Structure 1
Amino acid sequence: MTKRLLTKKEQELLKRNPYVKSVSEKAITYTDEFKRHFIAENEQGKLPRDIFEEAGLSVDLIGMDRIKTAGKRWRAAYRNSGIVGLQDTRKMNSGRPSERKLTPEEKIARLEAKNQLLRAENELLKKLDLLERQMLKKKLQSKRN
């Protein structure tokens, strides 16, 4: 973690960004959507600095150390667990696990949420697969010419 603390003014600036979930003087929590966007763009060859800048997250404000460590952490999580590894699970896993029985409505809601997550993951994987195939096709065409 970086040693530079964020001022109140810097925190307010960051809170206005749609990709920032929360900010304290020591840490910035990004949305799951931004993490997925970061991985997709990075896999296409974009530099972490450029991805942050395009998302309206100033490198001067955040700092290169924070950007490098966040990118490294997200890439490792994605490699190990896929899209699920990019999710912020702190609220879901805090405290002692609930031992009460779930109502049928709660079970359905959980299954629907899981289903939605799996659909989103499948869509992202399809897009990545398509991009990989397009890149291979371009490589083959350039070798032929």
Structure 2
Amino acid sequence: MLPRNIFKKYGFDPSLLGPRRTKSFTYRVRKEATRVEGFKDTRRTDSGRPLARVLAIEEDLERLKQKCEILQQENDFLKRVRFINRKQISKLQKDKQ
């Protein structure tokens, strides 16, 4: 199947993407197909710029504290969203009765 047809099949307009993107897409797919492991989503392992230096213990601890704080904020946000969803669902159920 031609790359142009693949993009059309999945709802992308190849003329908007341009010939360079479609060619690079084809190149990446062929490169992944030749790997021994096959296709793999590398976005989780290769995301971000790696550090060029080794962190001191204090710097590493500070980064971990910041990460922990961000995760706590995410959890609080998700708890609020769940609470709001439950509230709306119970309101809809009461309105149906």
Q: Which has the higher strand share?
A: 1
Q: TM-score, normalised by structure 1?
A: 0.33
In our comparison, the structure showing a higher alpha carbon Rg is 2
Higher relative contact order (CA 8 A, sep 6+): 1
Q: TM-score, normalised by structure 2?
A: 0.49
